Amino acid sequence: MNSNKKFTIMITGVITVVIFWIGWVSSNPKDEKAMATFVSVEKLLNDKINKRTKLGGLVKDGSIIISKTNYLDCSFVLKEGNTELTVKYDRTRPDLFKDGAEVIVTGQYLDGTFYADELQTKCASRYEGDLRDESNYKLTEIKT
Amino acid sequence: MNPVAGGVALNLAFGFSILSIITLLIFIRNGDMRLFLTGQRLSLGISFFVFLSTFILWYQLIISNFDIDYVARYTSLETPFIYKISALWAGQSGSLLFWLFILSIFATITVLQNQSKHHGLMPWVIISLAIIQLFFLVLTNFVTNPFMPTDADFVVKNGNGLNPLLQNITMAIHPPTLYLGYVGFSVPFAFAISALMNRDTSPLWIQSIRRWTLVAWLFLSSGIILGGWWAYQELGWGGYWAWDPVENASFMPWLTATAFLHSIIIQEKKDMLRLWNMALIILTFALCIFGTFLTRSGVMSSVHSFTASSLGPIFLTFVFLILIVSFTLMFLRRSDLRSEKRIESFTSRESGFLFNNLVFVVMCFAVFWGTLFPVISEAVRGTKITVGPPFFNQINVPIGLILLALTGVGPLLAWRNTSKQSLIKNFTVPILSGLVAAVIFMAIGFKGSVVISFSLSVFVLATISTEFMRGIKARTKTFNESIVKALITMISKNRSRYGGYIVHVGIVFMFVGFTGHAFDKEKEFSLKIGQTDHVAGYEFTLLKLSETERSNHYAWISDIRVTDNKGEFVTNLYPEKRIYFHKNPDVNRRQPHSELDIYSTLNQDIYSIFSAIDNDNGIAFLKIMVNPLVRWVWIGGYILVIGTMIALWPRKD
Amino acid sequence: MHFISDYILVFIFFVLPVIFVIQPLFLNKINNLKNKIDLPSLKRKKRLLYRQIKELEMEFDIGNINQKDFKISRKELKIEVSEVITKLNSNKI
């Protein structure tokens, strides 16, 4: 076997191993937090999915309740379209979390409540290079 | 200066770019030098008008002309001067203009620098650059024009202003640094296309772009590191890398560019891997444009981009066009790209480089896969599955460790073939040091990939030092120099080689820092004044809660005393909870912000966040993280920059 | 007054670039450089080859290349350099 062939075999070998590796990790991630399914709130409620999921929506105005005993404990109502769902979250809240904020929560659904362990707010950053589309701003924002 | 002039200048640049492309194409057909000169000058003209319109926009931002939509959206009368300047890249249309601005600087330098060089290559280089300019000119002229007037039926007295939390100097320089990197790869790409067009695949064109590539790589690397540093200092989640799509977007071209920097060494020295190098630079450039697409399109839900934008499809089309045209061209020129020389042995420098390249590209693919996984799974299975950092870490840790190992093995291999003797001679000391380190680390109680990573780091450092030692020895023997003098002359005579090794040292430091992540500890708890809690062997006591009003915010400051498990005083931490716009009657427009405080040592960072305050009961809610070895990442970054600078430093000859 | 300054601006920012761009078209036909030997790139090539020889010697001193390969590669490089130098010299005369 000449060296050229040996190299071809070797290279194909490396690539195959890696592809298998990527495929394997994709189907059996070590950490359950590695993956989450993005679903609509409606689908989650209808199908009662109790796997790890990610939901997006708005925080319903006036729905944020912060526990009197532990300020980290909070619950709020997530609104997506007309569907609503109570979300419980007991970690540090992002600074931009407030009424009407657009949020993405990750966690698990159990008996009518969504227990989130991740809460992301829409990034207010208009900075980092190229963040938001201008069409996203309302002109009333400018008037102030 | 009238803002209308800015729009006109953009129109003119658009016209000039088309004329420049046509003129140069005619020149290539008939060879009339006058046309070449005109084409060249038209290209300078494009850049001139781009500069003009950029300066006009800057001027409008500075004088706060709110009749321009862009100015009204991203600045206000109160915005400090420096952030009026940086507002140029705060929004979409401005950042596209800024991209074009950088590209025009690079194009001008390329044209002026090569007036008497590369006559064969230059026409196609200029055409390629003009086409890229044309793409961005179409965007800024017709899709999202930065000079659009404000669409309001009232007089805009003051602009929207920039989020005060983002008025941070790192945030002002991180995007342009990244851009300089992204855009910088346009020039090597243009040379590559030109080389293909001219069937000139000699190592000479590689030589002419090595510097450009290195400059672009330096900017891209520093941009990535700066972004991580900013996230760590400001965002308050205790990390510097989240495998966010936009971060990945900058990491993917970095990986292929790094591969390219290595493999052009083989083409320069051995005239091998012509095809591969061509593919790598094309891929790098396409990934740079793809990166812009990812940030802009909203295909991914990311911290950076949440909204869909009309720009997505246009960018995607451009990326596809680049790939299709370039790879078709490569296919047509495949006979020119075939090199006669072959790699002869596994234990050769060439094969070391080849495998390093392979691993870089494979890692790039893994990141690409993870980034697009949600899109792929949605298309295939109909469910959108998002992947988080654990997924990326699991996939990339082993690949990264292989790369680290190759960093050590590569320099010890000889060109063509390494004899058994020299294999033994070169590898004994580094391998022994690595093994000894492994035993020691295991004795300390480290496990698994941590031991591997640390001992590989020792191994790589050992190989790099033996490399330096061998060089010094050779010099002291031949030239009879002192060791110090030998070291200095050796580095200055072989800048790219030893600069490269210094970059490797930086990378090793960064790996040490990444490995520290395995030991991160965090805890969230509440404290009343005088109470104490423990995290990772440290005691945290809340001494005092104070409040103060500052010029643009209201702040609660907690005073936390940190002591170690022997009760010895370590430091005081003062994380703050702030409310910006605290005087605004509309509660919803007030903006809370946690200003964190970090106690950083070489060993570990103690990272404190003041999450919330219960005023009635005097309770502070805190999040404390103990992150070992983070500082090594930043030190590694500095070393990387220094090493690259050494490699870039011009020679006198 | 305003009028005049506008005209000056148009002249500087539009007419001048256009003149600059079309000026070469009115030159007498210049010889096609393609047929000429490109002196600067020959010189660059010479420099490059010398650098490569130096690097090769260094690799040999360190022990990254064996004697046989070293001799062959150096010979190849030297032949290449001498070709370039011959071309350069013939062009000077």
CA distance A128 to chain B (A): 6
Phi–psi pair at A121, nearest 5 degrees = -105, 160
The answer to whether residue B437 is domain-embedded is: no
The answer to whether residue B67 is domain-embedded is: yes
Domain count, chain C: 1
Span B30-50, average pLDDT:
92
Q: Which string of DSSP letters, residue by residue, matches B182-239?
A: HHHTHHHHHHHHHHHHTT--SHHHHHHHHHHHHHHHHHHHHHHHHHHHHIIIII-SS-
Looking at B8-22, B147-161, B215-229, B254-268, which range is the least confident one? B147-161
* Contacts C25 to B, Cβ<8 Å: 34-35, 38
In the DSSP assignment, the letter for residue B78 is T
Q: How far apart are CA B239 and CA B224, in angstroms?
A: 14
For the beta carbon of residue C73, count every other beta carbon within 10 angstroms.
Answer: 20
The answer for residues whose C-beta is within 8 angstroms of residue C9's C-beta and 6 or more apart is B1, B5
CA B283 vs. chain centroid, Å, equals 16
What CA–CA distances, in Å, run from B67 to B63, B148, B157? 11, 9, 9
The answer for residues whose C-beta is within 8 angstroms of residue B550's C-beta and 6 or more apart is none
CB contact under 8 A, B38 and C69: no
pLDDT at B252: 96
Whether B414 contacts chain C with CB within 8 A = yes
CA distance A16 to chain B (A): 10
Burial A124-133 (b: 16+ CB within 10 A, else e): ebbbbbbbbb
CB contact under 8 A, C41 and B414: no
Chains that touch B (3 or more CB pairs under 8 A): A, C
The residue in chain C having the minimum alpha-carbon distance to the alpha carbon of residue B413 is C64
What CA–CA distances, in Å, run from B295 to A128, B233, B351? 10, 22, 36
Phi–psi pair at B237, nearest 5 degrees = -110, 5
Reference B389, options B303, B449, B456; nearest CA is B303
pLDDT tens column, C49-60:
888 888 888 878
For the beta carbon of residue A117, count every other beta carbon within 10 angstroms.
Answer: 13
Residue with tokens 């290595």: B262
Helix axes B122-138, B186-197, angle to 10 degrees: 130
DSSP H helices, B347-388, are: 349-381
pLDDT at B624: 92
pLDDT at C38: 66
Whether B49 contacts chain C with CB within 8 A = yes
pLDDT at C31: 57
Whether residue B365 has pLDDT greater than 80: yes
Give the β-pairing of A83-89 and A113-121.
parallel
Looking at B141-150, B232-241, B581-590, which range is the least confident one? B581-590
Looking at A121-130, B104-113, B465-474, B520-529, which range is the least confident one? A121-130
Using an 8 Å CB-CB cutoff, list residues of chain C that contact chain B: 9, 13-14, 17, 20-25, 27, 29-34, 38, 40-41, 44-45, 47-48, 51-52, 54-55, 58-59, 61-66, 69
Name which residue leads in pLDDT, B623 or B206.
B623
Give me the residues paired with residue B206 across strands.
none
pLDDT at A130: 28
Whether B344 contacts chain C with CB within 8 A = no
Span B449-459, average pLDDT:
94
Best residue in A80, A99, A103, A127 for a mutation probing chain B (most B CBs within 10 Å): A127
Which residues span the domain enclosing B542?
Answer: 521-629
What CA–CA distances, in Å, run from A137 to A95, B37, B138, B339, B446? 20, 46, 23, 55, 51
Give the β-pairing of B619-628 and B604-614.
antiparallel
Whether residue B401 has pLDDT greater than 60: yes
What is this structure's pTM? 0.89
pLDDT at B117: 73
CB contact under 8 A, B369 and A22: yes
Chain B from 614 to 653: CB within 8 A of any C CB: 653
Which residues span the domain enclosing C62?
Answer: 2-92
In this predicted complex, what is the ipTM? Answer: 0.78
Q: Which helix (H) or strand (E) holds B68?
A: none
- When CB atoms are compared, the residue of B33, B118, B493 closest to C30 is B33
* Contacts A25 to B, Cβ<8 Å: 391, 394-395
pLDDT at B1: 58
Span B356-385, average pLDDT:
87
Whether residue B322 has pLDDT greater than 80: yes
- Compute the half-sphere exposure of residue A12: CA atoms within 13 Å on the CB side of its CA: 6
The residue in chain C having the minimum alpha-carbon distance to the alpha carbon of residue B32 is C32
Chains that touch C (3 or more CB pairs under 8 A): B
- Report, in angstroms and rounded to the nearest whole number, the Rg of chain A calculated over CA atoms: 22
Span B398-425, average pLDDT:
86
Q: How far apart are CA B545 and CA B614, in angstroms?
A: 11
pLDDT at A143: 36
pLDDT tens column, B617-632:
788 888 999 999 999 9
pLDDT tens column, C20-30:
888 888 877 66
The answer for residues whose C-beta is within 8 angstroms of residue A72's C-beta and 6 or more apart is A90, A91, A92, A93, B524, B526, B611, B612, B621
pLDDT at A135: 36
Whether residue C1 has pLDDT greater than 60: no
Topology (CATH level 3) of domain A34-121: OB fold (Dihydrolipoamide Acetyltransferase, E2P) (2.40.50)
Looking at A25-29, B442-446, C4-8, which range is the least confident one? C4-8
CB contact under 8 A, A127 and B178: no
- When CB atoms are compared, the residue of B301, B304, B611 closest to A72 is B611
Q: How far apart are CA B564 and CA B571, in angstroms?
A: 10
Looking at B1-10, B198-207, C81-90, which range is the least confident one? B198-207
Whether residue B410 has pLDDT greater than 70: yes
CB contact under 8 A, A26 and B298: no
pLDDT tens column, B482-496:
888 888 888 888 888
Residue with tokens 């008497």: B116
Give yes or no for a contact between B44 and B12, defined as CB atoms under 8 angstroms apart.
no
pLDDT at C10: 74
Reference A67, options B615, B588, B614; nearest CA is B614
State which amino acid sits at residue B76. S
DSSP H helices, chain A, are: 3-27, 41-47, 139-143
pLDDT at C72: 86
The per-residue pLDDT of chain A, averaged, comes to: 76
CA distance B89 to chain A (A): 6
Q: Which string of DSSP letters, residue by residue, matches B450-485?
A: HHHHHHHHHHHHHHHHHHHHHHHHHHHHHH---HHH
CA distance B39 to chain C (A): 8
Domain count, chain B: 2
Whether residue A91 has pLDDT greater than 80: yes
Best residue in C5, C62, C65, C68 for a mutation probing chain B (most B CBs within 10 Å): C62
Name which residue leads in pLDDT, B132 or B420.
B132
Three-state DSSP at A91 gives: coil
CB contact under 8 A, B304 and A91: no
CB contact under 8 A, A22 and B365: yes
CB contact under 8 A, C64 and B116: no
Whether B77 contacts chain A with CB within 8 A = no
What CA–CA distances, in Å, run from B238 to A121, B4, B181, B261, B453? 17, 46, 27, 33, 22
CB contact under 8 A, B165 and A11: no
Q: How many helices (H) and strands (E) does chain C have?
A: 4, 0
Looking at B100-109, B189-198, B199-208, B239-248, which range is the least confident one? B199-208
Give yes or no for a contact between A72 and B526, defined as CB atoms under 8 angstroms apart.
yes
Name which residue leads in pLDDT, B334 or B154.
B334
Residue that terminates a domain, selected from B122, B151, B180: B151
CA distance B485 to chain A (A): 42
CA distance C45 to chain B (A): 7
Q: How far apart are CA B117 and CA B363, in angstroms?
A: 37
Whether residue B251 has pLDDT greater than 50: yes
Give yes or no for a contact between B564 and B541, defined as CB atoms under 8 angstroms apart.
no
pLDDT at C2: 60
| Chains C+A touching (3+ CB pairs under 8 Å) | no
pLDDT band at A3 (very low <50, low <70, confident <90, very high): low
pLDDT at B201: 66
The per-residue pLDDT of chain C, averaged, comes to: 78
Reference A45, options A62, A33, A31, A57; nearest CA is A57
pLDDT band at B129 (very low <50, low <70, confident <90, very high): very high
In the DSSP assignment, the letter for residue C26 is G
Whether residue A41 has pLDDT greater than 80: yes
Best residue in C8, C41, C60, C77 for a mutation probing chain B (most B CBs within 10 Å): C41
Name which residue leads in pLDDT, B392 or B301.
B392
Residue that terminates a domain, selected from B84, B117, B151: B151
Report angle CA B152, B155, B157 to the nearest 5 degrees. 120
Whether residue B560 has pLDDT greater than 80: yes
Give yes or no for a contact between B496 and B268, defined as CB atoms under 8 angstroms apart.
no
Whether B399 contacts chain A with CB within 8 A = yes
pLDDT band at A9 (very low <50, low <70, confident <90, very high): confident
Q: With pLDDT > 70 as the criterion, what percentage of chain B qualifies? A: 94
Burial A86-115 (b: 16+ CB within 10 A, else e): ebbbeebbbbbbbeebebbbbbbbeeeebe
CB contact under 8 A, B395 and A22: yes
DSSP H helices, B75-159, are: 81-86, 92-113, 122-138
* Contacts A126 to B, Cβ<8 Å: 74, 90-91, 162-163, 166
